[in-house]
Structures are given as structure tokens and as C-alpha cells.
Chain A
Amino acid sequence: MNTHGNPIDNDTEAVVIIGSGAGGGTVAYELTRRGIPCVVLEAGPYLQRADYENDEWAAFNQMAWLDKRTTSGSWRVAQNFANLPAWIVKAVGGSTTHWSGATPRFHDYEFRTRTYYGDIDGANLLDWPISLADLAAYYDAAEKAIGSTHRHGRPPLPANNNYKVFANGAERVGYKYYATGPYGTNAEPYDGRPASIQDGFNFQGDKSGAKWSTAIREIPRALESGKCDLRTECQAVQITHDASGRADGVVYLDAEGSLHRQAARVVCLAGNSIETPRLLLMSASGLHPDGLANSSGQVGRNYMRHTTASVYARFDQPVRMYRGETMAGIIADEARLDTARGFAGGYYMETLSLGVPFLAAFVEPGSWGRDFTELMDAYANTAGMWIVGEDMPQESNRVTLNTGVLDQWGLPVPDVHFDDHPNDVAMREHGYQRADLLYEAVGAIGTHHTPPYPSTHNLGTARMSARAEDGVVGAYGEAHDVAGLFVSDGSVMTTGAAANPTLTIVALAIRQAEHIADRLGRGEL
């Protein structure tokens, strides 16, 4: 077994954290710094800065979660990337390893969508059991942990080439709320990390260390505390409970395929929104015949992936969008509620650049011929943006166990079913039109509307609810049905909001860890 830090005996009832990304890595750091022993089970290897590759396919093959998965539903991803519903990371640090870094907060109305949006046909909307005010202090803490630019005295990043096109276009169409952040990569040295060298490789793991990830901050600090036992290449298989129904252990496979069981006083599940419901469903028992913590029937349901799209614009002069920070450009003018636009919820526009290898694979999947090669021939003169907005939770968009297809261990693979809601379609179309206007305002000679990529923002499959019959976990992420079992990742999101989710996942994890520590301290867990 690959272990790091101070060993903890398998029979010692520790806090067992499944996953080391934004949620799990943050909980591990916040608990160990309070002296609470934690075992962290990470399915992937411990990649370090020196391991990361400035090469899109090499990095993808090094760190992407490539275990077999299946897809169903009418989404385009199921057609072009049938076994890759999501583009997330299998390594210490989880998807903070390849996250781009945008850190907007959720808005107040986005915690109360059922109240604000009303009863939208086909949408399973629900208000969160918490409000923006409940999270405000934790947002502050998360922004300081990440070192978000434009916040708490952190300076903005400078304008790179892609941002110059984006921001000038924004200004010319009358947008006001644009900037190079807030963004989780340093503009100047901060917290032991250097300033950005603008190398252009955010999605491949940051070799310089300027970008925040739990692999560079929270996990190393947890290991230094002497309270953390990190076991890598360990895939969790089941969460167990005792006769009274309390979570009491985690069964997992090591790299050689041997099964082990770690005793637990508390289990924090943070496997991202596909593996998290998969593990709950694989943990069915006599007490929980439909899957652990699933008396509501909501485990795996309400899978959200954000309404996304990209627009690539061609100019008659050079842009060289690949030089510099990938997503250090955000427009917030459309991130608001105004149903006069024809849809509920809002969206952000964010700069985005792909290198030649990824642009070829994703700009129009399956495309070839001259329409395609003309896009590629214009590469050096191309600017790009991503559109990311709130999608509607739908009960039928869900992660299930596909017992007809087994993974390399013999376990049922997760199937990810997704259909766009009409609200999602209307929002995406609005985003395409606004992006066209923006780029045409600075002289674009053509734009291309790129469909959504395999999901990077996976949310909602173990949602938070005030009442046990409406969701899987309560206001602190503890399962309604299983004492001592917490969900610590983006699966808990009741609705997805427009903002990139990492900052909110970190804020929720800091709040949850404080809650767990308090209850452990009082002997209540």
C-alpha cells in the first residue's frame, strides 16, 4: 500500500475521509490542524509538481479519471464521449489539480431557487437549508485559503492576450462587471506560493505552484501535522454501519486489489458527484436496501453539470490565447436573475483557452473536412470563452449502478444519464448570442459555437435538504439517515448556482469540519 504521513491502525476508529480534492482535502486539513486523527483514502496516485506535464494528452492520460463509466440520455457528451461523462482528476488533490481557478461566490437568491423561480415544469427545485449569510464567514476563509485575486488585499492578475479581446468586447457591448478575477492563482507571492509565470497550463496541474490546490496546500499541511494517514491508490468499495445504524467503517481496495477495512468514528465522503452516489448505492445493506442514506430515493438524482458552452472567435490578427492564465477573465453581467431573458438563473462568461490537441478534439467533436480545418488553421488568431450557468435539477438526471458493465475490480460502473432542461437550452442559446455580439464588437470574422465538454462541474447527487424526505444530507452535510456519515463534496449542492463550484465546496467543507470538530469535542459523535 502507498502510505504517507503517520500510520493509523485499521482498528482505530478515526475520521475516514474518502477523496482528497476540494472537499476531502479541506476537511482533512481543517480536522488535523485541530489535532483530530484522519485517514484519507485517495483512489489516485500522489502526483507532485515535478510530475505534472505541460502537454495536454500526456497530462490527461496521467491524471484524468479514466475508469470505465457509461452514459445515457440525449446530451451530446453521450454521443461523442460515451465512456467519459466527466473530465475530473484521479490523483491526490482531486480536481483541484486541474481546476482553472475562477472563484465567484454564489448569490443569495441562488440558495432559494424554489422561492424565486417558482415551480418550473420538470425541475426538482428546492431551497437550500442554509443561506448566503450562513456561509459568508466561510467564504472569507475559503478565499484566504485559496488566495483569490481581487479579495482580501490580493491584487488582480494582469491582462493576457485572450483577456484583452474578451474585456474590450465586454466594454463595447456595455458590460461593466468584468475583471481578471477573482481567481485562485497568485498575482504576487502569497502563502508560500510564487506568482504566476503565465505558462498557460492550468488544466494539466500547475508545475510552478502559483495555483492553489489541495495537493499543494491542504494535504501537505495535514501530513505535516502528524495526524494524517494518507493512503493513495485506494478505492473505497463500501461504507459500513453498526447495528444501531451509525457509520463505522470503510471497506477499500489497495493498488494490488486486496480488500481492507478501516474502522471509522466519522466518515466523510468526497468522491465527486459520480463516485459519491456510486459508493452510497454500492453500500446497500439490510437497513438500507436501496442504497446507504437513500430513504428519500434522492441518492444519485438531480445530477447537475452546469449549463455550459464555449465560443471560439477568429480574427484577422494574432491573439495567441494559449499564452497565460487559462481562465483569468470573468464577466458577471449575466450572472443574475432576470426572466425577461427567457430563462431562470444566470451565467458567467469566462476566458478559456485550449491548446491545439484539445481544440481539435473538443471544438466540434466528430467533425472533419474543411469546416473543421478552417477552425484549426485560424488557431493563432483565435480567442475563446466559456459560458457557465445554473442548470435545472431534474430527478431523471441521475447516476445509477450499471450492473451490466463491471470495472477493473469487478464492481458495477456508474451510468450517468442526462437530458438538458428547456431552461438550460434557452440559457445556452442566449450565451452563444451574447458571446457572438461581444466578439463581433472587436472585429471577429467568425465565431464557432462549441457544445459542452465532458462535465467538469459535477453536482447535486446527494443534495442538502431541510427535510429528510427531500434530500440526502442536512445543513452540515450529515446524512439524514446515517449518523456519523457526512458528504463533503459538491454532491451536497441543492441547486448548482451559476458560479464555478470549487470556492463553495471549500467554504462548505471548512464549515463542516468546524461542526464535526465541535461535536467530537463534546463527545457527540
Chain B
Amino acid sequence: MSAASALRPDLKPVLVQLLRAAYPHPTFPDGPYERTADKVLTELDADLWHRVVLERGLATLDREALADPHAAAAEEYLRGIAQAEFFRFVRGVAVTTLYDDHEVWDLLGYEGASFDQGGYLHRGFDDLDWLPDPRVAEYDGEPLQLVADHDELPTG
């Protein structure tokens, strides 16, 4: 139940647009950004201060400047509002939500939980094949010189 988003359904599209421009990934569809926007709006239920600054901030956002989230102009515009409280709040929620989204994990090539599949022991923990197999034992030559000659204590 999200009172903020229920009260202000109009906030979500502009919030998604903001998130897309702040975290521009060419391969990401709308879903992860929409779920992140929902989380931001849910957080507002318990936080009057951020609710009022976010409502005000989103209402006054230059949506023209954000029309293409991958354009340099979009990021340049956001740099100008980077220290605004509402944008800092959005980023704080977004960085722990967008990248905790399992669809995002798939898109970035992260496989998540592995224990219930037996870990990666038989599923590629050592499948990197573009470098030779390195030594895993410790060096068996001369031991490391722990103190350089010029740092050794005077004897006697």
C-alpha cells in the first residue's frame, strides 16, 4: 500500500524518467526503473520531509532536458540539481533498489544465490580460459626480504 503513489499517480512517470537519466543503461527495459520508482514512492509514506521535497522537485523538473536519458545534455542538466535534497533522496533509494532487482542482475550477468545449486564448484568457478592457469601454491624460492637493507636496524 503506497499512499504517496496512490495520492499522486502522476509522480511515477516523471520519476521513472529521472531514474533513467540518472542511471542510464542502454540494455535496461522500463521494468527495473518502474519497480525502483515504486520503492521510492513507498518510502515517502513514512517521511513527510522527503515527500514534500520530492513532490515539489518532480513537479518542477525540466522534462524536456531529460527527453533522451542517454544524451549528454540530460546528465548535464542533472549535474545542476545534483545537490538538491529530493535528488539525493532518490539516489539513496535507487542505488540499493535498482541494483538489487533480479532482472538487472540478469542484464549485468550476475547470477545471485548459488548455494542451493551446489555453488559454482561444477558450474564455472574456474572457467576463465583467456589466461594460463597460474600457480596456486606459495613461491618456493628465496623467502621475501621483509626489511630492506636501508631500513634494517644497526647491529651491535
Shortest C-beta distance, B9 to chain A (Å), equals 26
> B134-149: contact bitstring with A at CB < 8 Å (1 yes, 0 no)?
1111110100111110
A208 to B124, CA, bound (A): 18
A324 to B98, CA, bound (A): 25
Chain A residues with CB under 8 A of B137: 150, 156, 179
Q: Does A319 contact B (CB under 8 A)?
A: yes
Which of A171, A201, A320, A380 is B115 in contact with, Cβ under 8 Å?
Answer: A201
Determine the main DSSP class of A at the interface with B: loop
A370, B24: Cβ atoms under 8 Å?
yes
> A148-166: contact bitstring with B at CB < 8 Å (1 yes, 0 no)?
0010000011111101110
Assuming A177-B138, A322-B111, is B125 touching A340 (CB within 8 A)? no
Chain B residues with CB under 8 A of A56: 100
Contacts A/B (CB < 8 Å), 21 sampled: A57-B96, A156-B136, A159-B136, A170-B134, A197-B115, A199-B120, A200-B119, A200-B120, A201-B113, A317-B130, A323-B111, A323-B120, A324-B125, A333-B144, A338-B147, A339-B151, A368-B78, A368-B91, A369-B24, A376-B108, A380-B108
A336, B131: Cβ atoms under 8 Å?
no
B108, A336: Cβ atoms under 8 Å?
no
Q: Does B23 contact A (CB under 8 A)?
A: yes
A197, B119: Cβ atoms under 8 Å?
yes
A180 to B78, CA, bound (A): 44
Chain B residues with CB under 8 A of A340: 148, 150
B132, A168: Cβ atoms under 8 Å?
yes
A160 to B126, CA, bound (A): 5
| Most chain A CB neighbours (cut-off 10 Å) among B22, B27, B115, B124 | B115
Chain B positions within 8 Å of A, measured between CB atoms, are 22-27, 75, 78-79, 91, 95-96, 98-100, 104-105, 108-116, 118-121, 123-128, 130-139, 141, 144-148, 150-151, 153
Assuming A199-B119, A199-B120, A324-B120, is B151 touching A161 (CB within 8 A)? no
Assuming A57-B100, A338-B151, A357-B99, is B22 touching A164 (CB within 8 A)? no
A337, B138: Cβ atoms under 8 Å?
no
Q: Does A122 contact B (CB under 8 A)?
A: no
B96, A318: Cβ atoms under 8 Å?
no
B115, A442: Cβ atoms under 8 Å?
no
Q: Which A-B residue pairs are the 10 nearest by beta carbons?
A: A380-B109, A197-B119, A199-B119, A167-B134, A360-B99, A54-B113, A324-B125, A338-B148, A198-B125, A323-B120
Chain A residues within 8 Å of chain B by Cβ, number: 69
A339, B124: Cβ atoms under 8 Å?
no
A370 to B70, CA, bound (A): 8
Q: Does A207 contact B (CB under 8 A)?
A: yes
Chain A positions within 8 Å of B, measured between CB atoms, are 54-57, 107-109, 115-116, 150, 156-161, 163-165, 167-168, 170-171, 176-181, 196-201, 207-208, 317-320, 322-324, 332-333, 335-340, 355-357, 359-361, 366, 368-370, 372-373, 376-377, 379-380, 442
Assuming A158-B126, A178-B139, is B131 touching A164 (CB within 8 A)? yes
Chain B residues with CB under 8 A of A377: 25-27, 108
B150, A109: Cβ atoms under 8 Å?
no
